[in-house]
Amino acid sequence: MNNQDEICFTNVTDQCVLNNILPADANAFTNVSCNQGSVSEYYVQVEEGSDVVAALDFSRKTGIRLSIKNSGHDYLSRSSRKGSLALWMRKVSGMSHETSFVPKGCDSTPVNVITTAAGVNTNDVYEFAETQNVTFIGGYATTIGVAGGWVQAGGHSVLSPVYGLGIDRVVQYKIITTDGVLRIANECKNSDLFWALRGGGGGTFGIVMEATHRVEPRIQLAVAAISYNRTSSNVLEWLSVIVNNSLPWANQGWGGHYQAANLISVTPLLSLSEAVESMAPAMKFAMENGGTVVIEILSSWYEFYTKYVTPNEAVVGGLRPLAPRLVPASLFNSTEGRSKLMGFLERLISLGYSPYIPNTTPWLYPWDPASTSSTPAWRDSIWELSYGGAWTFNETLEQRTSQIDLVNDLTAMVEEFTPTGGAYLNEAHPWTSDWREAWWGLKNYERLVEIKKKYDPDNLLTCWKCVGFDEENAAKDFPCLNI
């Protein structure tokens, strides 16, 4: 977890954070006031629908804005808001597995599903799915709320290249809209709302109480975990191996994460011998540079999750201005395209940044273009290229802003050679200039605004650069983010 959503970006004294590199550093808390930042002062611990209805009524009567926090895995500060009444969804619990589920009001082929209440996180559902001998396609951290912003804004997974995004797999929502009505949204009932919830983003169209997701049978996975001894002289050569092999790897169903010193990927499509052959270029480089290589077959997603994910949870507590860009597969088809990409990676390395590249796009998944509302760029891309710096606890506003300017400059640079790309809403840069186009595409955004007006006509639910965002009143409504 990162703490940029807790600070007030525009006021460097309005925060309460430690030095995440050295938490015992007394400079962070000696003779320093601990202030509220962007964290809400009051929370409603939601346990049932009546709690949500009461909060909506309170907001309507008082004018006090609401914010919705599920797990807080968000880079846009949508799960926190200064001066808001926050709805905390973690205590809305419950899961069920049905092998022959038909969405309400539909006459369709039954599907195998798990239904998760709003507060269920990835660790909960992975453990439950294992007991049911099925595979839930979800995120890479243990604490992601699977019915929250993760699925409502896209929901990528290392299994997405073959099995699709979270928005492709959700078949029904139960949601309380701002009029206090509990609605069912699927392809047959409130289908416009269902479409909006399949990519339009959390905290916007209502408060989701549960989601029903298609699951897969227990699947066997080929795993590649490769690292090497990184130096300043060999890092670009390693990245060149990644760039030159990313398209064939995508075509073989590999999904995971490429980084400047390692890769970890899985595919359900290859045998052990096929996986070894596929990863030969990365294996050769790693062994020539003091590295380690593991290529193996595991019996299930849960076995991979407990062996590789839970023991290696990311460091928490940082302040990170992150920016992603979906990189189209077409760029990898030509020497010129790969050269442009390598030039950008070289620029990142020269700045001291380490590129983080989830290869989690639904490249092989058959997609109906009318089914989801997120950016269509997901479907043509094989990388989510992420980059960004870090703030320290004691930086000045000028120093914070300079990091934002640098990230914006890098984004402009990558946009030049990925004009048909986009960005993942859940991990997006809060100060993205063309956010409507990048996160949804203008055509999708225009329809989302109309649906927002239908189900939230009073604009009771607002968040930073969410659908229906009012830029004219940004300084008043979001003083901690408006720069």
C-alpha closest to that of 239 among 115, 350, 104: 350
- Residue 327, in any domain of the structure: yes
Residues 143, 149, 153: CA angle, nearest 5 degrees: 130
Bridge partners (DSSP) listed for residue 294: 225
Query: What's the confidence (pLDDT) of residue 318?
Result: 74
Query: What's the confidence (pLDDT) of residue 316?
Result: 63
Query: What's the confidence (pLDDT) of residue 315?
Result: 63
Report the domain count for the chain: 1
- Residue 449, in any domain of the structure: no
Report the 10 Å Cβ neighbour count for 123. 18
Report the 10 Å Cβ neighbour count for 216. 17
Domain that residue 397 falls in: 221-439
CA distances (Å), 209 to each of 70, 95, 197, 437, in order?
Answer: 11, 12, 13, 29
Report the 10 Å Cβ neighbour count for 343. 11
Q: Is 356 helix (H, G, I), strand (E, B) or coil?
A: strand
- Residue 83, in any domain of the structure: no
Q: Which residue has the tokens 């022959």?
A: 100
CA distance 149 to 455: 18
- Residue 111, in any domain of the structure: no
- Judge whether 123 and 143 are in contact, CB under 8 Å: yes
- pTM comes to 0.97
Bridge partners (DSSP) listed for residue 87: 44, 68
Query: What's the confidence (pLDDT) of residue 317?
Result: 66
- Residue 461, in any domain of the structure: no
C-alpha closest to that of 140 among 285, 14, 265, 325: 265
Query: What's the confidence (pLDDT) of residue 77?
Result: 82
Query: What's the confidence (pLDDT) of residue 1?
Result: 57
CATH of the domain at 367: 3.40.462.20
Residue type, 253: G
- Residue 26, in any domain of the structure: no
- Residue 4, in any domain of the structure: no
pLDDT string in tens for the chain (483-residue length)? 567 789 999 999 999 999 988 999 999 999 999 999 999 999 999 999 999 999 999 999 999 999 999 988 888 888 899 999 999 999 999 999 999 999 999 999 999 999 999 999 999 999 999 999 999 999 999 999 999 999 999 999 999 999 999 999 999 999 999 999 999 999 999 999 999 999 999 999 999 999 999 999 999 999 999 999 999 999 999 999 999 999 999 999 999 999 999 999 999 999 999 999 999 999 999 999 999 999 999 999 999 999 999 988 766 667 777 899 999 999 999 999 999 999 999 999 999 999 999 999 999 999 999 999 999 999 999 999 999 878 888 999 999 999 999 999 999 999 999 999 999 999 999 999 999 999 999 999 999 999 999 999 999 999 999 999 999 999 999 999 998
C-alpha closest to that of 459 among 206, 210, 146: 206
- Residue 30, in any domain of the structure: no
DSSP code at position 69: E
CA distance 342 to 351: 14
